[in-house]
Structure 1
């Protein structure tokens, strides 16, 4: 006898926007949303001039792929220009801040892996977040 696999499909519109650190961040695939155990990912949308505040991930690498737009990311204070089709690895522990430097909205797909031991350990703010809110509620906790 076989059992049906749990649903692992998530539509972007079914996920709440997290604007705590800037932009429209939507974590679509995570332990909370689909029960995954090795990482999490989603999308980021930044309007012109919008940014994601500086932070680092002490346990995870972050993989970024720019779908559209023009961006600048600083990696430990070193700027890198990104455009549509560019992918970038942010190594574990590297401070980074992402800014839309172009005239149009930018769309990014991201993935972080491996997971931190607990969700509240996975993200360290090195710049004051734009909105108040605790640890990243989008990643951990039960489905």
Structure 2
């Protein structure tokens, strides 16, 4: 049995900017019927950050395609450069900060899915754009 292939362009996805950066949840339960996790892109403009948060039910995998980011996981931090990847274990607070003069771009995967989308992401510091739409799995995270 052959299933039709669903192709999604990241640029078709409305970006989430509430917690900083430009996050597009591309392959999700809402866009492709994913049941195990979801994948998306994150752009962190020069001298900006993605506010600290954690995922109580999911691990996060981040592959940096372009630029450099300082990744803080709990009390530890490291610089991630283009071509490098990091895994953030579920329940660990993490923050992405771009200290450079060029934008950073990465691809992330979060799995497994939380039992309900609204409990899959917990903010632990004030977000830079609190009036923006809240994160959600589907069109944006």
- Structure 2-normalised TM-score? 0.91
1:41 aligns with 2:43: no
Give structure 1 stretches of 5+ with no counterpart: none
What does 1:21-100 correspond to in 2, within 5 Å? Answer: 21-100=19-98
Tell me the matched-pair count: 138
Query: Secondary structure in 1 aligned to 2:3?
Result: coil
Higher RCO (C-alpha under 8 Å, 6+ residues apart) = 2
In our comparison, the structure showing a higher alpha carbon Rg is 1
Aligned with residue 17 of structure 2, among 9, 19, 23:
19
Deviation at 1:77, TM superposition (A): 2.0
- In 1: Cα distance, 2:69 partner to 2:131 partner: 25
Deviation at 1:85, TM superposition (A): 0.5
Query: Secondary structure in 2 aligned to 1:139?
Result: coil
- In 1: Cα distance, 2:16 partner to 2:133 partner: 12
Deviation at 1:7, TM superposition (A): 4.8
Runs of 4+ in structure 1 off by over 6 angstroms are none
**Contact 1:23-1:45 at 8 Å conserved across structures:** yes
CA gap 1:19/1:135 in 2 versus in 1, 3 angstroms: closer
- In 2: Cα distance, 1:134 partner to 1:50 partner: 19
1:132 aligns with 2:135: no
**Contact 1:119-1:136 at 8 Å conserved across structures:** no
Residue by residue over 1:41-70, the C-alpha shift from the partner in whole angstroms, topping out at 9 and shown as x without a partner, is 100011111100000000000000000101
